[in-house]
Amino acid sequence: MRTMKIDFSQIIPFLKGKVVITAHRNPDGDAVGSSLALYELVLTMGGEPWLYSQDPYGDEFKYLAHSSEVHSDIPTNIIFDATLVVDTGSAKLLGNHIPPKDRSGTVIVIDHHKTRDPFGDIEIVDSTASSAGVIIEELIRAANKPLSKNMAKALWCSIITDTGGFRYSTTDARTLQTGVNLLDGKADPWEAAQSLYESNPLERLQLLGLALNTIELRENGKVAGLNISRKAIEDSNLPLSLSSGFVNYGRSIKGVEVAFFIRPEIESPGKFRVSFRSRGKYPVDKVAGSLGGGGHANAAGCRLGADSMTKAMNMVFNAFSPLSDPK
């Protein structure tokens, strides 16, 4: 068995107490999987976990045990021993119901993001981990608890979603070794793949069709932009909420280095949300930053104000022009 470089000893005693477990808003597979595995670990240790996410878990995560235990708020009459935050690099990404200092207990952050704004009383951070789930699997071993089937399934969700199914450059030997441990623990890859990747609502594919029709390439085919406009939503009556991940289709085009996807904020006319993806050569967090947003080198986002989708598209394309080679 591998030796672990993280010292978990200071956080393990908290797992026996009354704890809030939460992650960043709009939780992705790593946020959900890490939270659910931690939830079962706390139960196993005799603690009392309160699972919190201001935004609901997506339907694709409903196959995971305890996913229905998630609450969109936190009771105000409980004084917690600890608030455990996973997969979250900044307090700005937390939900609005996190208890204040006098009720939160010790704030413990378990994270793997490179760019972070520390906010925990105790921070267990390893930016070399490909997902928070990898760290949680090590925590379970450090706590000397068996990896249950539920935990294995939850952490499998974490690592495959954060590595794009073992495709991203973060996929290392430690990731695969964790994967081996999870398969030994009876994780079920095909069950996970069906729920996470092979359960598209028809409306999502119809919406994707509309977005694909808007693809525009500039900067000699290195920058791809696509969008769903307010008009497209009104004409089609399709739910805009199903558009997550569409930006990846832009990046998947041969020759494209960076892609962006723009959608309107339905509740705020004139406002748009932009997602960016890069293959790795051109960091998109800089461009997102120049437009008031931020993120990682390969995935970033921002909000924009513009009179029309055409203007919003031009603003973002112009932010990439000229696309000069990084040093």
**Structural contact between residues 190 and 226, judged by C-beta atoms closer than 8 angstroms:** no
Q: Which is nearer to Mn ion, 89 or 99 (CB)?
A: 89
Q: Shortest approach of Mn ion to residue 209 CB, angstroms?
A: 30
Based on CB atoms, which residue is closest to Mn ion, 30 or 137? 30
Cα 165 from Cα 158, distance rounded (Å): 10
Of the two residues 116 and 230, which places its CB atom closer to Mn ion in the complex? 116
Write a three-state SS string for the chain. Answer: CCCCCCCCCCCHHHHHCEEEEEECCCCCHHHHHHHHHHHHHHHHCCCEEEEECCCCCCHHHCCCCCHHHCECCCCCCCCCCEEEEECCCCHHHCCCCCCCHHHHCEEEEEECCCCCCCCCCEEEECCCCCCHHHHHHHHHHHCCCCCCHHHHHHHHHHHHHHCCCCCCCCCCHHHHHHHHHHHHCCCCHHHHHHHHHCCCCHHHHHHHHHHHCCCEEECCCCEEEEECCHHHHHHHCCCHHHHCCCHHHHHCCCCCCEEEEEEECCCCCCEEEEEEEECCCCCHHHHHHHCCCEECCCEEEEEEECCCHHHHHHHHHHHCCCCCCCC
CB nearer Mn ion, residue 40 or residue 162: 162
Residue whose CB is less far from Mn ion, 17 or 165: 165
Nearest distance, CB of residue 112 and Mn ion, angstroms: 6
Pick the binder of Mn ion from 60, 162, 257, 285 (CB under 5 A). Answer: 162
Minimum distance, C-beta of residue 121 to Mn ion, in the bound complex (Å): 21
As measured in angstroms, the least distance from the Cβ of 116 to Mn ion is 12
Q: Taking CB positions, which residue lies at the least distance from Mn ion? A: 30
Q: Total number of residues binding Mn ion (CB under 5 A)?
A: 5
Please identify, using beta-carbon distances, which residue of 74 and 134 lies nearer to Mn ion.
Answer: 134
Pattern 57-96, Mn ion, x by CB under 5 A: ------------------------------x---------
In the bound state with Mn ion, the residue whose beta carbon lies nearer, of 29 and 185, is 29
Q: Which contacts qualify for 304-307: CB closer than 8 Å, 24 or more apart? A: 304/262, 304/271, 304/272, 304/273, 304/274, 305/270, 305/271, 305/272, 306/270, 306/272, 307/270
Residues in contact with Mn ion, shown as a per-residue x/- string from 247 to 286 under the rule CB under 5 A = ----------------------------------------
Nearer CB in complex with Mn ion: 51/125: 125
Minimum separation from the CB atom of position 317 to Mn ion (A): 29
Question: What is the pattern of x (binds Mn ion, CB under 5 A) and - over residues 103-142?
Answer: ----------------------------xx----------
CB of 189 to Mn ion, least distance (A): 19
Nearest-approach distance from CB 33 to Mn ion, in angstroms: 9
Least distance to Mn ion from the beta carbon of 70, Å?
17
Identify the residue among 24, 29, 30, 258 touching Mn ion (CB under 5 A).
30
Positions touching Mn ion (CB under 5 A) are: 30, 87, 131-132, 162
